[in-house]
Structure 1
Amino acid sequence: MSVATTNQRRRRRIRDANLPYQLATLVVFAAAWEIYARVSGGLLIPSFTETAVATVELLGTAELWRAVYVSNQALVLGFGAAVVIGIPVGILLGRFRLLERYLDVYLNILLITPMAAIIPLLVMSVGFGLASRVILVAVFAIVMVVVNARTGVRQVDPALIEMARSFGASERQIWTRILLPGALPAIMTGIRLGIGRAITGMVIVELLMVSTALGGLILEYRGLFKAPLLYGTIVIILAEAILLISVARWGERKLTRWAETTTARSAK
């Protein structure tokens, strides 16, 4: 049996072993929620069972799926733009320090600026349409993509680059065989973290800028004091986020399997 096969089986056993603990945690959380809601929840905090029933009801309505479709338009376009722009920018910043001197200040601004403060500027410049929602989602996500791509390039051992040059490797070969493969794990991590930020931006822009789609449903159910439907909508948004992050994590494992094998061998 090879070392790689043994490591894969070990990781699979660890993941399988974590599942019962995760289910037990969910059961404890649901029980605590149910007890608290029945004892002192009142009108604004539904019980876990009421929320579960409302979530199932929502999944059977056309209104929810229209809202999901509209919201995910901004999510797909905005996150796609963040990935297409953020990965090359992060790689270039990690490779060329001079370029980083000019752009690092703007990256820091994006890191520390409250994104909600950008919404009035978007409304004044591009209006209330899809374009403003896409831009805000992209701004939310692109920081994580750029920072992790830059970190991935910098984590590549400089000795590997010098050794490649000593053997006559061209700049293109250094990029394709050393820098990009070495930075790939960090890039995938940035994509996974960026998805979470993109979903946050998607909801915030709909809550603060224009009452539409999933954000509009949240505001509607809150105004009508329909707490189970409000919580059910939030549960659906969280479920979508968990699903997308899980897909990104799966892709990260598939594309960076060689990195895990290398780490395991180094540990030995």
Structure 2
Amino acid sequence: MSTLAGPLPPRRRGLLRRIADSDRPYQILTFVVFAVVWEVYARQWGGLLIPTFGETVVATFELLGDPELWQALYVSNQALVIGFGIAVVVGVPVGIVLGRFPTLERFSDVYLNILLVTPMAAIIPLLVMSVGFGLISRVILVTVFSIVMVIVNSRTGVRSVDPGLIEMARSFGASERQIWREILLPGALPAIMTGVRLGLGRAVTGMVIVELLMVSVALGGLILEYRGLFQAPLLYGTIVIILAEALLLISVARWCERKLTPWARTNSAKDPR
């Protein structure tokens, strides 16, 4: 009896503690509540334009078996991969240089502010007039959407490096190349990876917007087609697939961030704030 009434074994207690400390149960609970509210609202007040949660799930699986969807994903992701790749290859070095040399920032700061505040949809007519329809215009818009986040966060990362470390390295005779390799780049890498992750989310947004507003192709064309035919389950299913792709890409970027900057996570865990 004393054994049955005693405390839980240490291994089981540790398992329960890990489950309680994890975010997964709360995320699952939130999703279940969201699905129930969606189902009830759609059945009571949705009508023709809002499908139920169950109908959306069925339509999503139907779309996954449709070759037309995979062709649309292929076409859309061409602009996403090329545009986001350009944003990273150009944005990271530009942000690092601007953070290291404040004089250069005086010339570029106004243009970064313009990119931050300008509604990107307003750029679409300019792109159509300049380069016409096609892959080039879609790549340019995806790049413009995402590059500003990469530049700003890379610049912030370099600025956040403790100047005392740089002065100490110089006092020990470190060259500029050694300062970049041993202090600036490792110190700025967490912010750079954050900028890459945020830029990836903006790139997905740009990919969809350009296809909705400029060229009715690929995923944007499917959304417009299903909306015009009042096929609400397929419309919502397409949006769910786009969201799933965005979440998957951001999860991969977050995983890369943890692998490349393990010290940043350790420091944040030790931070009493």
Distance 1:15 1:122 in 2: 51
Corresponding residue of 2:117:
112
Corresponding residue of 1:245:
250
Question: Cα distance, 1:62 vs. partner?
Answer: 0.4
Question: Cα distance, 1:258 vs. partner?
Answer: 1.5
Query: Partner amino acid for 1:107?
Result: L
| Stretches of structure 2 lacking an aligned partner (at least 5 in a row) | 1-13
- Per-residue CA deviations over 1:203-256 (Å, capped at 9, x if unaligned) read 000000000000000000000000000000000000000000000011111111
Distance 2:101 2:21 in 1: 43
Distance 1:57 1:263 in 2: 43
Question: Cα distance, 1:18 vs. partner?
Answer: 1.2
**In the alignment, does 2:268 pair up with 1:254?**
no
**In the alignment, does 2:104 pair up with 1:132?**
no
- Per-residue CA deviations over 1:114-142 (Å, capped at 9, x if unaligned) read 00010011111111010000000000000
Aligned pairs for 1:1-268 within 5 A: 13=18, 17-265=22-270, 267=272
The farther-off stretch of 14-23 and 209-218 is 14-23
Assess if the C-alpha contact under 8 Å between 2:143 and 2:203 holds in 1: yes
Distance 1:73 1:261 in 2: 36
Assess if the C-alpha contact under 8 Å between 2:83 and 2:143 holds in 1: yes
Question: Cα distance, 1:17 vs. partner?
Answer: 1.9
Question: Cα distance, 1:260 vs. partner?
Answer: 2.2
Q: Which runs of 4 or more aligned residues in structure 1 lie more than 6 Å from their structure 2 counterparts after TM superposition?
A: none
Assess if the C-alpha contact under 8 Å between 2:75 and 2:218 holds in 1: yes
Corresponding residue of 2:9:
none
Helix, strand or coil: the match of 1:143? helix
Distance 2:19 2:128 in 1: 48
Query: Partner amino acid for 1:138?
Result: T
Percentage of pairs with the same residue = 79
Question: Cα distance, 1:181 vs. partner?
Answer: 0.3
Distance 2:174 2:20 in 1: 41
Distance 1:15 1:162 in 2: 45
TM-score (norm 2): 0.92
RMSD value over aligned CA atoms? 1.6
- Per-residue CA deviations over 1:38-93 (Å, capped at 9, x if unaligned) read 00100000000000000000000000000000000000000000000000010011
> How many residue pairs get matched?
258
Distance 1:15 1:165 in 2: 48
Question: Cα distance, 1:168 vs. partner?
Answer: 0.3
Distance 2:272 2:45 in 1: 52
Question: Cα distance, 1:199 vs. partner?
Answer: 0.3
